């Protein structure tokens, strides 16, 4: 990535890289955001499944919600626009816990945090950087992976982001979801999420939601709805065609060399040695295709 392209497309806020799609003024003003007690926040590191969860929630009949654009997207006028949303707001964001507006924490808004295997996340983010004109195009996969491991990509280190939210995994207003679990049993994930949000859905409706929000269905719909500005769920682009690429679990194996895997795994073990999220992801990696008890993460403190 040339320093020139980086300079025009990215900027730093509190040490973390952000896209120019998030203005400095807006990021500086996030703590002025007035959260409502019934707000729902969809939080994740980029390329972890936020769009997927957003689609699921939007497909819940009679939920009485409005999916908004991300809280860190655009300029400062966007914070004022969010005030005009009359229904219960579902607000996506890729912000770390520390950068999340104070009022969200004070009012204990419902927070759904989505986690995805970091190797798959890195590969997906690499393609996102390559295809998204709002991000500087990386020269090669090895050079991008090096930046990813250093946290020199948008929203910083995957490890720091996940750990910042994991500290709050036992808070009653926080629900952790795993991308891999959604791929394995979407109906089970929908049940967990609707129960958490206090929305009543019967089994027939759940099956229908799962069918309507399968990855292939969403990718197909993205083409049809690409011009709809109300579906700007990512603060890095409003082009929905860029969002849904493969959605495959384990695609990283087609990119990582044995040495890259070894370096990545060593860093993962070091950073995530005390992490229940890390344990769940490692279990899934060794038991690929078998049932993993992701729900054990959400045990009471």
Contact (Cβ atoms closer than 8 angstroms) between residue 111 and residue 43: yes
Which active-site residues does the annotation give?
Answer: 94
Strand partners, 294: none
Sign of CA dihedral 279, 247, 291, 295: positive
CA distances from 104 to 30, 71, 72, 110, 259 (A): 10, 11, 14, 9, 42
Contact (Cβ atoms closer than 8 angstroms) between residue 183 and residue 249: yes
Question: Which of 196, 164, 197, 178 lies closest to 63 in space, CA to CA?
Answer: 197
Q: How far apart are CA 202 and CA 287, in angstroms?
A: 31
């Amino acid at each position: 990535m040339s320093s020139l392209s980086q300079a025009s497309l990215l900027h730093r806020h509190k040490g973390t890289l952000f896209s120019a799609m998030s203005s400095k003024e807006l990021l500086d003003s996030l703590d002025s955001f007035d959260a409502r007690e019934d707000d729902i926040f969809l939080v994740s590191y980029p390329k972890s499944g936020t769009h997927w969860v957003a689609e699921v929630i939007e497909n819940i009949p009679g939920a009485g919600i409005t999916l908004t654009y991300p809280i860190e997207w655009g300029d400062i006028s966007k914070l004022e626009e969010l005030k005009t949303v009359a229904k219960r707001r579902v607000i996506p964001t890729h912000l770390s816990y520390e950068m999340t507006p104070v009022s969200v924490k004070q009012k204990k808004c419902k927070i759904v945090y989505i986690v995805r295997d970091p190797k798959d996340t890195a590969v997906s983010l690499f393609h996102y950087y390559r295809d998204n004109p709002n991000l500087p195009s990386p020269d090669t996969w090895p050079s991008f992976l090096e930046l990813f491991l250093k946290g020199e990509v948008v929203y910083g280190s995957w490890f720091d982001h996940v750990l910042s939210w994991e500290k709050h995994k036992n808070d009653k207003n926080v629900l952790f979801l795993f991308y891999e679990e959604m791929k394995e049993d979407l109906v089970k994930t929908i049940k967990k999420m609707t129960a958490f949000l206090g929305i009543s859905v019967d089994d027939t409706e759940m099956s229908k939601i799962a069918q309507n929000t399968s990855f292939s269905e969403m990718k197909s719909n993205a083409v049809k709805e690409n011009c709809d500005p109300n579906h700007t769920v990512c603060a890095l682009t409003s082009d929905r065609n860029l969002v849904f690429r493969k959605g495959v679990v384990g695609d990283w194996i087609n990119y990582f060399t044995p040495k890259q895997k070894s370096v990545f795994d060593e860093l993962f073990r070091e950073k995530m040695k005390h992490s229940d999220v890390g344990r769940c992801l490692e279990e899934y990696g060794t038991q690929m295709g078998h049932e993993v008890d992701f729900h054990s993460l959400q045990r009471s403190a």
